Structure 1
Amino acid sequence: MKRFSRALASWTVTVAVLVACERTVQAQPAAPPSAGPPNIVFILVDNLGFGELGVYGGGILRGAPTPRIDRLAAEGTRLLNFNVEAQCTPSRSALMTGRFSIRSGTYAVPVGGAADGLTLWEITIAELLSGRGYATGMWGKWHLGSAESRFPTHQGFDEWFGIPRTYDEAFWPSLNQAAGLWPSSGNKQGWSPGIAPPEPLLEARKGEKATQVGVLDLDARRTMEAAITDHAVAFIQRNAAAKKPFFAYVSSSLVHMPTLPNPAFAGKTGNGDWADCLAEMDFRTGQILDAIKQAGIEDNTLVIFASDNGPEATDPWQGDSGPWRGTYFTAMEASLRAPFIIRWPGKVPAGRVSNEIVHVVDMYPTLARAGGAEVPKDRPIDGVDQLAFLLGQQENSNREGFPAYVADRLSAVKWRNWKMHLIWQVNMYDTPQRLPLPKVINLLTDLKEERDAGATSSWVGVPMTKILVDFEQSLKKYPPIKAGTPDPYVPPK
């Protein structure tokens, strides 16, 4: 942080004093509409790049139309500047807590063998909504705790089906099976369950120990999305019949590597596995939307479709970043900008498109407000309430910028349509390079982030530096939780 501060100081020496900078707009939060607490369905797809969906310029250009998701966008609001964190675990942590993941010790995808995930001190959006009488369910990848004590059903969810970590681990048993490499054969190079146990498929309910119902291998990977959708649909039907408000967190498995379609979709597009998976994603989304409509709750159900990250970077599953440059695990726009669609009939404007900045941390206070819950007051919450903006009650977002971390490296800062890079990295496999001076990008005139505009636009250092200074001061006042911190965690006084 000190090295960043020195670089910033040298770059902004001719800029006006920080106290003159413009602050992030903080509009008064909107009250939720009076029709009763809405059901909330949050479909978070996995590593879907900006340019994949038809409504974002992909669809048939990527080998498969996406009519159901495109129609969802037409029925609601689509954001062009929805921002996430650079990796799966950080984005999911930010969604659940409303806090940048650097605060929670969840700033990187965990590697096996060490404690990982959210401490139980964190208060998730599921806990907030559960406290307001919501039924809460989650299906798919959790990625915020591999130990039983940190599973979703210990973090506010009534039920869960899925995996604790990531889909990469499907390779472990399956590659050995294909090559005939089993420990009993005397092979010392292949995977051994005695060294790294296979990732379990789990079902769990609040107050009960999770039950293993399978093992993640390539066959299970292919059928994972169907199982996730079936669980979500049953949950929606059950709670709609009981007239109980619910929060359904559908943590989609698509299009995370290995990107493999369900057998029913294999070969359907004629354009390969990736396109088949895009077609399956659209179909599964349609199944959930149909369940909502058939249950007669469409008008009082807030649906969000979003991605946790930018596109995959690994051959042969690379995604498409649309007009942007880069991949996830970086601070490039292709990493930070993700698809986001929200529908709430009669409340969220239909057909609206906005380039206003929204961050995934903003979902926490926004959904809390919609559900009638209050956010915690005993910790810094980085998210800002965007309900009035999303309901069309104001044109501007309540956020103008944010710091962008890649793992624990402060890599960039965004403000309005500008970005300042402190560390340069285009692809996840590139070596991060600390810049001697920050690199300033005008995101309206340079979508590929190729030209440094710092020499002629140094004035943007004022609001950008203010964002960084304020956040640095916040980290000093509220020291971040270290990765691997065990429970119980008690913040320092």
Structure 2
Amino acid sequence: MKKTNIVLVLADNLGWGELGCYGGGAIRGAPTPRIDALAKQGIQLLNFNVESDCVPTRSALMTGRHPIRTGALQSVPAGLPQGLIPWEVTIAELLSKAGYATAMFGKWHLGDKEGRYPKDKGFDEWYGIPRTTNESMFTEQVGFDPEVVDVPYVMEGFKGRPAEKREIYDLEMRRRIDGVLTEKSCDFIRRKVAADEPYFLYVPLTQLHFPTLPHRDFEGQTKKGDFADSMIELDARVGQIIDAVNETGTQDNTLFIFASDNGPEYRRPWRGSAGMWTGTYHTSMEGSLRVPFIARWPGKIPPGRVSNEIFHVVDIYSTLAALVDIPIPQDRPIDGVNQLPFLKGETQNSAREGFVYFIKNEMRAAKWRDWKMHFVWEKEPNEGANHLETPYLFNLVQDPKEETDVSSTQGWVRGPIRKMINAFQASLKENPPIPPGAPDEFLPKR
């Protein structure tokens, strides 16, 4: 049987309330017809959950493990230890060993030195940025000194060869980069289909991360500002990749996933929207956790399905492994669960009921079924973390804004949530977390 191709497009800081199919679109000054159409062709999740910001989410996606385990907890400036240690096994490494051609075009943020680039972690080819988009502002800022700060570059790498710098990542390149990433992605699809090779294509685009600036081709199109122009660019880029799959006639044999890594951008003037939820990324509010997720696989995933079942970003790892029928590592905790039967409509229920939520190394909240318990309360980043003596409990169906504590009236929920937390904490004791900044040779205790 021919292996299924996999395309995973990840937006950067795209909030739940931005896309038309999630209640945004024209309301936000930016219709998103291509992504909206994709949602109708497959399954749209209303309860897809991620981590607090870019690094931990990408770590969870790549390893199927909560970032408290991997030590990839936060964004770190260039020149300092960061990313995944070589011991971690990425989904790209699993798929590569299963005979897939693999490529990544976009933002990595999981290591910025030889041994930790994407081409060292399972990808045959990579073009993009090793860290993050706000570095594009550095070279034009007052007092910037290249003698003491690394000049940011767009880079390229191929498996088995050293990565190379291709272009300074400045504000003009920031505008152009998603166009280049999309062009390379479409070329990869055409090449691999022509060669009759199964492929895994990971496209972590840079929109809508700050500075949220559109390509010049999209600048001024909405007449609603840079943010709206960047939204229609994002929609168009996703559409171009969809077209590349469709034009090769392989859409029925391609699982196409579109998702976001985090809740909305919170820095003004690039403030995003979480729609009906409260909060932005870098918090434990629902607006941080819930982001768009759409999956299309004609003939396998029924079209037009919308679900509020809980799905977590770590689940992508185990789900893709199950799709290809390859085993996941057995020598470490894998937090992801196989959601393939759920996505295919073989069951209406998710394979998970809840999860714990950390910001860096502190447990902030836990979700279970319709409820969420907060142990630390901070609605806005840097507002000041309030460590609660009595945790807040919210019913997210009855109270999506997280405004009414129901710990007194629905207190029975604390029992199953505490059991879930205790089991996770016991797992951390049995398998101690990898410390942030661990060297390449670090091996976890067993």
TM-score, length of structure 2 as denominator length:
0.99
Give a deviation string over 1:133-178, Cα, whole Å, max 9, x none.
00000011100001122000000000000111001111110234xx
In structure 1, the gaps of 5 or more residues are 1-34, 177-189
The aligned counterpart of 2:219 is 266
Correspondence for 1:129 among 88, 95, 99: 95
The aligned counterpart of 2:52 is 86
CA shift for structure 1 position 36:
2.6
The answer on 1:432 being equivalent to 2:398 is no
Give the counterpart letter for 1:42 in structure 2.
L
Give the counterpart letter for 1:227 in structure 2.
V
CA shift for structure 1 position 428:
1.4
Correspondence for 1:144 among 110, 113, 120: 110
Distance in 1 separating the partners of 2:262 and 2:179: 22
Kept in 2, the 8 Å contact 1:153–1:204? The answer is yes
The aligned counterpart of 2:174 is 221
The aligned counterpart of 2:406 is 453
Correspondence for 2:39 among 73, 76, 80: 73
Aligned partner of residue 373 in structure 2, secondary structure: strand
Kept in 2, the 8 Å contact 1:37–1:372? The answer is no
Give the counterpart letter for 1:429 in structure 2.
N
The aligned counterpart of 1:61 is 27
Aligned partner of residue 342 in structure 1, secondary structure: strand
The aligned counterpart of 1:183 is none
Aligned partner of residue 148 in structure 1, secondary structure: coil
The answer on 1:206 being equivalent to 2:159 is yes
Distance in 2 separating the partners of 1:304 and 1:286: 12
Distance in 1 separating the partners of 2:223 and 2:178: 20
Give the counterpart letter for 1:238 in structure 2.
R
Give a deviation string over 1:327-377, Cα, whole Å, max 9, x none.
100110000001000000010010000000000000001011112221000
Distance in 2 separating the partners of 1:228 and 1:471: 38
The aligned counterpart of 2:201 is 248
Distance in 1 separating the partners of 2:334 and 2:2: 26
Distance in 1 separating the partners of 2:147 and 2:321: 43
Q: Give me the identity figure in percent.
A: 52
The answer on 1:157 being equivalent to 2:123 is yes
The aligned counterpart of 1:237 is 190
Kept in 1, the 8 Å contact 2:48–2:311? The answer is yes
Distance in 2 separating the partners of 1:197 and 1:381: 35
4+ long deviations beyond 6 Å = none
The answer on 1:166 being equivalent to 2:129 is no
Kept in 2, the 8 Å contact 1:96–1:125? The answer is yes
The aligned counterpart of 1:303 is 256
CA shift for structure 1 position 198:
1.2
The answer on 1:118 being equivalent to 2:84 is yes
CA shift for structure 1 position 490:
1.5
Give the counterpart letter for 1:419 in structure 2.
K
CA shift for structure 1 position 398:
0.3
The aligned counterpart of 1:485 is 438
Give the counterpart letter for 1:221 in structure 2.
R
Aligned residues: 446
The answer on 1:347 being equivalent to 2:292 is no
In structure 2, the gaps of 5 or more residues are none
CA shift for structure 1 position 447:
0.7
Distance in 2 separating the partners of 1:384 and 1:460: 23
Give the counterpart letter for 1:236 in structure 2.
I
Give a deviation string over 1:19-71, Cα, whole Å, max 9, x none.
xxxxxxxxxxxxxxxx5321000000000000000000000001111000000
Distance in 1 separating the partners of 2:103 and 2:210: 24
Distance in 1 separating the partners of 2:318 and 2:3: 15
Aligned partner of residue 93 in structure 2, secondary structure: helix
Distance in 2 separating the partners of 1:112 and 1:161: 18
Kept in 1, the 8 Å contact 2:71–2:435? The answer is yes
Kept in 2, the 8 Å contact 1:37–1:370? The answer is no
Distance in 1 separating the partners of 2:284 and 2:301: 30
The aligned counterpart of 2:70 is 104
RMSD, matched Cα:
0.8
Kept in 1, the 8 Å contact 2:78–2:150? The answer is no
The aligned counterpart of 2:420 is 467
Distance in 2 separating the partners of 1:428 and 1:144: 23
Give the counterpart letter for 2:53 in structure 1.
Q
Distance in 2 separating the partners of 1:491 and 1:408: 17
Kept in 2, the 8 Å contact 1:330–1:428? The answer is yes
CA shift for structure 1 position 73:
0.2
Structure with higher Rg: it is 1
CA shift for structure 1 position 429:
2.7
Distance in 2 separating the partners of 1:225 and 1:112: 22
Aligned partner of residue 379 in structure 1, secondary structure: coil
Aligned partner of residue 432 in structure 2, secondary structure: coil
Kept in 1, the 8 Å contact 2:263–2:281? The answer is yes
Aligned partner of residue 471 in structure 1, secondary structure: helix
TM-score, length of structure 1 as denominator length:
0.90
Aligned partner of residue 314 in structure 2, secondary structure: helix
Aligned partner of residue 340 in structure 1, secondary structure: strand
The answer on 1:369 being equivalent to 2:322 is yes
Distance in 1 separating the partners of 2:381 and 2:200: 33
Distance in 2 separating the partners of 1:291 and 1:46: 22
Distance in 2 separating the partners of 1:160 and 1:114: 22
Distance in 2 separating the partners of 1:100 and 1:413: 13
CA shift for structure 1 position 488:
1.4
